[in-house]
Chain A
């Protein structure tokens, strides 16, 4: 109860801040609404666009610029050192980079492939929505929560004691006498971490692809059937080309999420045992090692990695809109 009362002033100040914000907006809109004559257009533009532009500038553009600038400064952000931070990345961080690349290649393809398979298998099944909800559920679990769950699955106990980890128990049932300590088993542990991400993303891929498959007109499928295309031929020559745009959006969306993957690695291994990825290394450099220069440079590498994906995504979306 006391704690609740202690919290009240905070709540009050939050309410006051919100009220102030709305009051300011109201004044702004009132002034904007009163202006007549040749200033009417520009003022309206400023009133509507201004807040968004200011917020985007403060929240995105300025930090991005500062990060890029900071990536050319030393650890304490004092001296200009040119491309040294980048050469540090490409000279000493190959493990981190290759891990990230493996993540980007394997996870989206596996999630999308599995999602597509599930979408096809569940299509027009009885109680389709129940099955889909169950598969979609992991989407609702935070990466940290999912990592803790899977940490238990991968739990290592000496073979003589009772097993907690499901994976160990399963391989023991299959006759393996001494299961490895999974999380320490390099480079296999990387794939174990990827499975967590795949588990989360499969539901998303399935739901979106399933919607795309249902969107194919039944007449076209019937026409293909009469043309002799059934089974694999129908799938590869009609279904896939017709959901191609959605497939690409799903793939690139997951790719962007994977590029920024941080929580799973941090929770499971904190980047140890050869599982480091760029985002976690960036965090470690910036807030553990306090080498701002390295951290900034890693952030820029991530940023540059995401840009082509986003551009490709936008082009695809535009193309699809042009067809419709």
Chain B
């Protein structure tokens, strides 16, 4: 039966280290939920996942699976299944044996093993490959075997450590939706680690953003996008990432590049210095007849969209704007941009959002 997972103030400081790999992590993953851990490399997302698996020690705090405290339980007794980045298939076993291995160790009756393996193979479109060795499979097929190995276990929790990063771009998109659909169908609690924010946004029920071992925000993809907790989350989620403009606090707004952007007085009162960070998503920064000026340095035509890269006249801030027009500006032109929707963050500390 599937179970919830709970981190209670979990920290990990490697012996001899000074900076914790994971610091005071508090997080609950509900029964049947698909939670994505996302962040730049070295942020502690894989480490957190491996802590649930029991492959990584915990210096402080507790981890629960369901109501059971598994902090000091051996990996093999936690009843979790993991999909590794490079799949970690047993090269000396056939696809079927790979999937059956855990069940054999658990001494599940033979007929039951055969039934479950067959079911998983069918589900993953692997029926004709059951007798092949992993070496004779393509990358995508190996990935599915790794998934199958997890599915047949019918574990409390699935853990997935960047399972798509070894696939080519097209297959990745395809497999992404398959995994999400499969998870919905099986209803097994899943923790999924990725560095790819698109994967995080498209797959997760909720997404937890980590940076330097500290949980920044955990929310639904929509909320992460609309209401980022701080400047890091704001820039990490969304592509191209949000423009962050260093602006000076002046009476009635924030000033950059000779333009004053009006901001409510209450918001400015929360600023912790004489500067604030103004955030505008490229999709909210349109080319316009008037407004702040931008000198174009690069134009990216993506078909549906055109992104215009440039700098403010003072050269301090770099901006990306989306052009909806049929004619796009050229490199070297000076254009006006019109910020539709802005965020304001404090300029120091955690760079928390104040608007």
Chain A interface residues (CB < 8 Å from chain B): 217, 219-220, 222-230, 233, 237-238, 241-242, 244, 323
Contacts and interface: CB of A to CB of B under 8 A. Distances in A.
Contacts of B68: none
Contacts of A222: 53, 55, 75, 82, 84, 88
B277 interface: no
A219 B102 contact: no
Contacts of A241: 90, 92-93
Contacts of A219: 84-86, 88
Contact of B88 (A220, A229, A237, A323): A220
A219 B46 CA distance: 13
Given A217-B86, A219-B84, A219-B86, A226 B75 contact: yes
Interface string B93-130: 10000000110011000000000000000000000000
B106 A228 contact: yes
Contact of A242 (B76, B80, B91): B91
Contacts of A237: 101, 105
A237 B74 CA distance: 19
Nearest to B102: A227
Interface string B8-19: 000000000000
A226 B90 contact: no
Given A230-B74, A233-B105, A323 B91 contact: yes
A227 B101 contact: yes
Interface in B135-179: 135, 149, 153
Interface of B: 53-55, 74-76, 78, 80-82, 84-86, 88-93, 101-102, 105-106, 135, 149, 153
Nearest to A218: B88
A92 to B, nearest CB: 47
B82 A323 contact: no
Contacts of B55: 222, 225-226
Given A219-B88, A220-B90, A323-B135, A226 B105 contact: no
A226 B92 contact: no
Contacts of B78: 226
A217 B74 CA distance: 20
A115 B177 CA distance: 49
Nearest to B153: A227
Given A220-B90, A222-B88, A244-B92, A229 B81 contact: no
Nearest to B86: A219
B91 A223 contact: no
Given A233-B105, A241-B92, A242-B92, A226 B86 contact: no
Nearest to A227: B102
A230 B76 contact: yes
26 contacts: A217-B88, A219-B84, A219-B86, A219-B88, A222-B53, A222-B82, A222-B84, A222-B88, A223-B82, A223-B84, A223-B90, A224-B101, A225-B55, A226-B55, A226-B76, A226-B78, A226-B81, A226-B82, A227-B149, A228-B105, A229-B105, A230-B76, A241-B90, A241-B93, A242-B92, A323-B91
B92 A228 contact: no
Contacts of A229: 76, 101, 105
B76 A223 contact: no
B96 to A, nearest CB: 15
Nearest to A229: B105
A227 B91 CA distance: 15
Contacts of A233: 105
A217 B91 CA distance: 11
A242 B75 CA distance: 22
Nearest to A223: B88
B352 to A, nearest CB: 38
Q: Give the residue among B53, B92, B153 with the most A Cβ atoms within 10 A.
A: B92
Contacts of B54: 226
* 3 tightest A-B CB contacts, nearest first: A227-B102, A219-B88, A223-B88
Given A227-B102, A241-B92, 9 more contacts: A223-B90, A223-B149, A225-B76, A227-B101, A228-B76, A229-B76, A233-B105, A241-B93, A323-B91
B102 A228 contact: yes
B250 to A, nearest CB: 55
Q: Give the residue among A223, A237, A241 with the most B Cβ atoms within 10 A.
A: A223
A219 B82 CA distance: 10
Contacts of A220: 88-91
